[in-house]
């Protein structure tokens, strides 16, 4: 399993649209779900800073995630551009491999 974490500071006037786009049933998850190796997305809200969110995207493996990024680059960049104005900051927190044997 491969997990990718992103952190977002969302503009207050864009909160509902951001949640709709980044929720497990949102636009990002729908794009990711076009790949059979995608597993799930979770959206987490920071308790102390309610306009700060973390997304957790889960893939079968790092190779599968990287393959998706290459094969869906145009759609990924188009969606990223569509939702670009919703945040004041976004950053890749980290990526993790799980189930290491």
Q: pLDDT tens for residues 30-88? A: 999 999 999 999 999 999 999 999 999 999 999 999 999 999 999 999 999 999 999 99
Q: Do 61 and 48 meet the contact criterion of CB atoms below 8 Å apart?
A: no
State pTM to two decimals.
0.92
> What pLDDT sits at residue 101?
56
Domains of the chain and any CATH numbers:
2-97 (3.30.70.100)
| Residue of 6, 99, 20 whose CA lies nearest to 57 | 6
> What pLDDT sits at residue 15?
97
| Residue of 87, 83, 71, 84 whose CA lies nearest to 27 | 83
Alpha-carbon distances, residue 99 vs 10, 60, 75 (angstroms): 32, 10, 30
Q: Do 83 and 16 meet the contact criterion of CB atoms below 8 Å apart?
A: no
């Amino acid at each position: 399993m491969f997990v990718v974490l992103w952190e977002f500071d969302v503009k207050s006037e864009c909160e509902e649209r951001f949640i709709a786009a980044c929720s497990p049933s949102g636009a990002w998850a729908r794009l990711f779900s076009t790949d059979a190796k995608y597993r799930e997305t979770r959206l987490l809200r920071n308790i102390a800073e309610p306009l700060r969110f973390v997304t957790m995207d889960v893939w079968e493996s790092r190779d599968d995630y990287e393959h998706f990024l290459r094969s869906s680059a145009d759609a990924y960049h188009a969606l990223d551009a569509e939702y670009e104005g919703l945040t004041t900051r976004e950053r890749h927190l980290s990526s993790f491999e799980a189930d290491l044997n």
